């Protein structure tokens, strides 16, 4: 019988890769909590209608990419394709909101989208997600973008590009949509892909997001949302930009940034990188003031973002994130038990490292020490066994070494 293999687009994370994910989570936790965010863990499985109602029926995510199936009683369930809808559902269901109150949640975890797998794109992937409820002010948008930037800086990714746009509100967007429809008509409907011909009726903004080359070409001269913002949206967007400017946070304005989910209003943003292949979006987010109300909750403003952890992991340097402190090389078989116990004492002191279980040649032990990436190689051979000493070899730079009693070595820590 053939071996059972993992599902296409799903990935096992072995220690080296998993360490990157743990590092990302630890940094995000550290940074997000500085801004008053608390962790919220929501279920991976939700009722399908939650995503239909929030992300939008005519988005690729809902129309083509969800893992949806009936449960044993025939109710339609969906593996969450993103975190926002579930966080909003939990917030509404908890009934904790009071007027004027701000709530801030972050979440980590796996998301599921039935997309064609490629570098940086999987069917099970992971997001770091942050949502801020109760603040319609532009300061909240700016603070969130600055928090995202601080997080990216903290993991060594200072140079990523931030793209910024405002999608207007429910007051000014209808006129923009009409301007788009008029423009599409002037380009002959039949020239667009079939999906876009439908989108023109159902969701004209989505056409701007189409990946089909002919559609991309056709929308190049389409009207820009920036020219159609109402006075309030203009002022809101100007404030967001002014704060980012004053904070020295560089961004590029991209009036075509409509994002792939329907719930956004006003500020939207994406962080991109050209170093990870064709899937360039590392993070994305924006404001979605109407969503909480449309899911049965209070009239409460909302803004948030999510980072794709796989894409961040691709950008992290190859550096070892958890460099071992020592590799304990046993070169004389008689020392195997002593070495085990010595390694145990080192770990009790908080050091990280491995021990070779049996004696072997100095050459093979040094090879293993190198491979482990440890800062220091500790050697116990015949002499060291007889004298209860250890030879300490620095693995970096000049690689000097000295022999000392094991107690003296331990007492340094």
Instruction: Give me the residues that bind ligand HAM (CB under 6 A), please.
Output: 82-84, 113, 115, 120-122, 125, 127, 129, 131, 260-261, 281-286, 288, 304-306, 308, 310-311
Q: List Cβ neighbours of 410 (8 Å cut-off, separation of 6 or more).
A: 345, 346, 349
Give the Cβ contact number of residue 143 at 10 Å: 20
Comparing CB distances to ligand HAM, the nearer of 200 and 282 is: 282
**In the beta sheet, which residues pair with residue 162?**
271
Q: List Cβ neighbours of 265 (8 Å cut-off, separation of 6 or more).
A: 167, 168, 169, 170, 173, 286, 287, 288, 289, 290
- Minimum distance from CB of 239 to ligand HAM (Å)? 19
- Minimum distance from CB of 320 to ligand HAM (Å)? 24
Select the residue whose beta carbon is closest to ligand HAM and give its number: 308
Comparing CB distances to ligand HAM, the nearer of 9 and 255 is: 9
- Minimum distance from CB of 302 to ligand HAM (Å)? 8
Dist CA 328 CA 227 (whole Å): 67
* Nearest CA among 115, 128, 12 for reference residue 67: 115
Dist CA 22 CA 13 (whole Å): 11
Dist CA 260 CA 167 (whole Å): 12
Comparing CB distances to ligand HAM, the nearer of 4 and 7 is: 7
Comparing CB distances to ligand HAM, the nearer of 286 and 359 is: 286
Comparing CB distances to ligand HAM, the nearer of 113 and 199 is: 113
- Minimum distance from CB of 65 to ligand HAM (Å)? 8
- Minimum distance from CB of 127 to ligand HAM (Å)? 5
Comparing CB distances to ligand HAM, the nearer of 272 and 391 is: 272
Residue 336's φ and ψ, nearest 5 degrees, are -60, -45
Comparing CB distances to ligand HAM, the nearer of 56 and 308 is: 308
Comparing CB distances to ligand HAM, the nearer of 256 and 347 is: 256
* Nearest CA among 246, 241, 227 for reference residue 183: 227
Comparing CB distances to ligand HAM, the nearer of 314 and 336 is: 314
Q: What share of the chain is helix, strand, coil (3-state, %, to 5)?
A: 40, 20, 40
Around 397, how many Cα atoms within 13 Å sit in the side-chain half-sphere? 5
- Minimum distance from CB of 132 to ligand HAM (Å)? 9
* Nearest CA among 82, 115, 110, 165 for reference residue 278: 115
- Minimum distance from CB of 113 to ligand HAM (Å)? 5
For residue 332, give the DSSP letter.
Answer: S
- Asked whether 389 and 403 are in contact (CB, 8 A), the reply is yes
Comparing CB distances to ligand HAM, the nearer of 62 and 329 is: 62
- Minimum distance from CB of 374 to ligand HAM (Å)? 33
What tokens appear for 268 in the block?
């939207």
Comparing CB distances to ligand HAM, the nearer of 134 and 308 is: 308
- Minimum distance from CB of 229 to ligand HAM (Å)? 20
Q: List Cβ neighbours of 192 (8 Å cut-off, separation of 6 or more).
A: 184, 200, 207, 210, 214, 215, 218
Residue 192's φ and ψ, nearest 5 degrees, are -90, 160
- Asked whether 104 and 130 are in contact (CB, 8 A), the reply is yes
Q: Is 110 exposed, middle or buried (0-12, 13-18, 19+ CB in 10 A)?
A: middle
């Amino acid at each position: 019988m053939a071996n059972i293999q993992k599902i296409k687009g799903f990935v096992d994370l072995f220690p080296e890769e998993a360490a990157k994910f743990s590092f990302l989570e630890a940094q995000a936790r550290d940074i997000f909590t500085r801004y008053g965010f608390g962790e919220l863990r929501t279920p991976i499985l939700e009722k399908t209608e939650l995503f239909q109602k929030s992300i939008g029926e005519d988005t690729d995510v809902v129309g083509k990419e969800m893992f949806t199936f009936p449960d044993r009683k025939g109710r339609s369930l969906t593996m969450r394709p993103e975190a926002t809808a579930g966080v909003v559902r939990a917030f509404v269901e908890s009934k904790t909101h009071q007027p004027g109150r701000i709530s801030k949640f972050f979440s980590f975890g796996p998301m599921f989208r039935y997309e064609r797998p490629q570098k940086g794109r999987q069917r099970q992937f992971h997001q770091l997600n942050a949502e801020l409820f109760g603040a319609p002010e532009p300061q909240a948008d700016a603070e969130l973008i600055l928090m995202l930037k601080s997080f990216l800086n903290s993991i060594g990714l200072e140079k990523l590009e931030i793209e910024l746009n405002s999608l207007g509100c429910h007051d000014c967007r209808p006129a923009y949509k009409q301007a788009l429809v008029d423009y599409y008509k002037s380009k002959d409907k039949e020239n667009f892909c079939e999906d876009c011909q439908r989108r023109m009726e159902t969701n004209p903004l989505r056409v701007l997001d189409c990946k089909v080359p002919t559609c991309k070409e056709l929308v190049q001269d389409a009207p820009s949302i920036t020219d159609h913002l109402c006075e309030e949206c203009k002022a809101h967007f100007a404030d967001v930009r002014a704060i980012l400017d004053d904070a020295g946070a560089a961004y590029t304005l991209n009036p075509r940034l409509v994002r792939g989910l329907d719930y956004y209003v006003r500020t939207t943003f994406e962080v991109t990188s050209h170093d990870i292949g064709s899937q360039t979006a590392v993070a994305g987010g924006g404001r979605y003031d109407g969503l909480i109300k449309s899911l049965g909750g209070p009239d409460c403003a909302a803004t948030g973002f999510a980072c794709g952890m796989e894409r961040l992991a691709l950008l992290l340097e190859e550096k070892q994130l958890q460099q071992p402190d020592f590799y304990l090389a046993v070169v004389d078989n008689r020392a195997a038990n002593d070495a085990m116990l010595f390694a145990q004492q080192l770990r009790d002191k908080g050091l990280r490292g491995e021990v070779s279980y049996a004696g072997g040649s100095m050459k093979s032990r040094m090879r293993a020490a190198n491979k482990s990436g440890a800062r220091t190689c500790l050697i116990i051979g015949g002499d060291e066994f007889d004298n209860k000493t250890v030879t300490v070899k620095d693995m970096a730079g000049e690689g000097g070494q000295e022999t000392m009693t094991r107690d003296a070595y331990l007492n340094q820590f």
